[in-house]
Structure 1
């Protein structure tokens, strides 16, 4: 068969603000490198208080459409309130999607509809946990918001600020227990969860983090790992000869170096799927650099020791393989965080589905469901 795109996830148009990196299925966006981001007040999201108050739903069980305004953009989401005693305080979790144009339900319509976050909200609701999920920039009802005229202005910090505002909005909800605020992030959402954990104010710090198939290396390091594996597979299958494979790997190394230096990668002579991956990165150069500048393990090392953390690793996950998880897990252990820690999910994919599941599957694997229940039980 022909050399495939290193991810089975579909590729968004390169011109979109959240065009997928073909090799990872992760966002490529825009902005200054993370090292250049200004700490302190400049990194704090501007949340309009009046719209936030107006958007508070009733406390009745079920799904409620909500919205909040962050940095001039109205962000739309779903607040799920589980069944429970009237006026009871309950754990509350913010759910963060993976990369690319992934909406509040964990979908990329119309091609990819796994309902990852919708299923997560249902499971956590059954365990008595309130959840909030939302359409991030360039997805669903939220769209590009204030970035409509400048999609290239989106950088990692824009998404972190949006997630921080969502966390603050959740913390302000009636019934949300301030001592049991949680964040569950899938894939790139786990990286953003670690970012929010660093500065959630004025809301209390999260009591728990569920890092589900997390981005655990710098973006372009993981990109290189995946592309190299694809080239090795193509070589073994006779799709490339050794000279072609070596040349392509060298081009990948040079392309990554160019992007890290702020220049577009040269895609001349690269196999089609890999060229497409770099074209998506080039189209969203600044976001790629802001994301790549962050080492998830460095963030994990700063998680407060009182935090209870779960990390999942699916043995059938080809996008974030279990072989890359150790630095993140070790950093959490060094930080002194509590359990359940790393949970290895046998035959589970990146989308938390059973190995071999078709793209139309929208049911979480039993092992993934059990891991989520294990995390949820910590809060009751």
Structure 2
């Protein structure tokens, strides 16, 4: 036998003799409870790990909920759209692990250290909680600490933007889904003006009443920012009650949230950070036009695409008319474009 032939035969023998145990074991997809502590509060969440090879480090994303008492799955006491749970399912198909958690006032976490003094809870506390969640995700044995992303919905998108410029390691990707992209009270005023305009169109108010109400709304926003009592004159009862709540136990949160102008935060992002910003054409809570300034700021920060992606017919909860309970196809496509980069 020629020496070359013998070498080939020996190589084949080595391959044939390799034990089956050398092939990495496939670990099935699974959820597990994760607990981390921030500011004296135990925070509870769900880590979803897609199917993977044993020992493999996966890309991972922190999922951040919208405003109000929105829990780890994206649900509130009277509504269960499962927004974040569904986003986790979408990212699973791209082999991205996810962590979603019960923020203050929701789920197993509750108010935690703020239980006896809920009026002291402010927006920075939620940002610190999200930062602690990011660090918990970073330290999980299945995740790649250099391939972490942050995906936020609504107010959670604003928080994601803040984390993107401050956490370590910096996330290579941010998905801002229907983001709060202007100051909170400006967004509230915009929503209220739209509601009053529609009510006027339906004959509930006269044009003169509409003008008076609109002026009262703007005056109420100014009063809150100047730490003055809101004058309820000319405000419909429901709107007066809303501004009353903004001056009550939630006052500290409202003012601290309103202090953030999201476009200013874009400058802290690292150039070429992958950023997806979605806006639904049927989103009455966050109209696409409210993301114009943030989109321009992201461009000035030289971040990477996909950039702003308008979602035709999609509402604030990522649904369209044909998909009232699941993410619309346009949402799925945008997320896959983002996660597949």
Q: What is the TM-score normalised by the length of structure 2? A: 0.89
Q: Identify the match of residue 262 of structure 2 among 289, 296, 311.
A: 296
Q: What corresponds to 1:128 in structure 2?
A: 95
Superposed, 1:47-126 pairs within 5 Å as: 61-109=29-77, 111-126=78-93
Q: Identify the match of residue 338 of structure 1 among 294, 297, 304.
A: 304
For the residue of structure 2 that corresponds to 1:344, the secondary structure is: strand
Q: What corresponds to 1:314 in structure 2?
A: 280
Instruction: Tell me if the contact between 1:262 and 1:285 (Cα under 8 Å) persists in the aligned partners.
Output: no
Superposed, 1:1-380 pairs within 5 Å as: 61-109=29-77, 111-200=78-167, 203-283=168-248, 284-355=250-321, 361-378=324-341
Greater Cα radius of gyration, structure 1 or 2: 2
Q: 1: distance between equivalents of 2:303 and 2:68?
A: 30
For the residue of structure 1 that corresponds to 2:340, the secondary structure is: helix
Q: 2: distance between equivalents of 1:348 and 1:241?
A: 31
Moved over 3 A (4+): none
For the residue of structure 2 that corresponds to 1:310, the secondary structure is: strand
Q: 2: distance between equivalents of 1:167 and 1:225?
A: 32
For residue 356 of structure 1, report the CA deviation from its aligned partner.
8.1
For the residue of structure 1 that corresponds to 2:247, the secondary structure is: helix
Q: 2: distance between equivalents of 1:287 and 1:266?
A: 20
For the residue of structure 1 that corresponds to 2:268, the secondary structure is: coil
Instruction: Tell me if the contact between 1:316 and 1:355 (Cα under 8 Å) persists in the aligned partners.
Output: no
Instruction: Tell me if the contact between 2:166 and 2:268 (Cα under 8 Å) persists in the aligned partners.
Output: no
For the residue of structure 2 that corresponds to 1:166, the secondary structure is: helix
Q: 2: distance between equivalents of 1:68 and 1:266?
A: 43
User: Which structure would you say has the larger RCO, counting Cα contacts within 8 Å and 6 or more residues apart?
Assistant: 1
Q: 2: distance between equivalents of 1:127 and 1:60?
A: 15
For the residue of structure 2 that corresponds to 1:210, the secondary structure is: strand
For residue 89 of structure 1, report the CA deviation from its aligned partner.
1.4
For the residue of structure 1 that corresponds to 2:103, the secondary structure is: coil
Instruction: Tell me if the contact between 1:264 and 1:285 (Cα under 8 Å) persists in the aligned partners.
Output: no
Structure 1 unaligned spans of 5+: 1-58
Q: 1: distance between equivalents of 2:129 and 2:235?
A: 36
Q: 2: distance between equivalents of 1:177 and 1:171?
A: 7
More helix by share: 2
Instruction: Tell me if the contact between 1:311 and 1:342 (Cα under 8 Å) persists in the aligned partners.
Output: yes
Q: Which deviates more from structure 2 when the two are superposed, residues 128-137 or residues 285-294?
A: 285-294
Q: 2: distance between equivalents of 1:301 and 1:276?
A: 37
Q: 2: distance between equivalents of 1:213 and 1:355?
A: 17
For residue 180 of structure 1, report the CA deviation from its aligned partner.
1.1
For the residue of structure 2 that corresponds to 1:301, the secondary structure is: helix
Q: 2: distance between equivalents of 1:296 and 1:356?
A: 32
RMSD: 1.4
Instruction: Tell me if the contact between 1:113 and 1:362 (Cα under 8 Å) persists in the aligned partners.
Output: no
Instruction: Tell me if the contact between 1:116 and 1:362 (Cα under 8 Å) persists in the aligned partners.
Output: no
Q: Deviations over 1:274-332 (max 9, x none)?
A: 22321332221111111111100001222111310000010000000011111101100
Q: What corresponds to 1:16 in structure 2?
A: none
Q: Deviations over 1:195-230 (max 9, x none)?
A: 112221xx3111100000000111111111111111
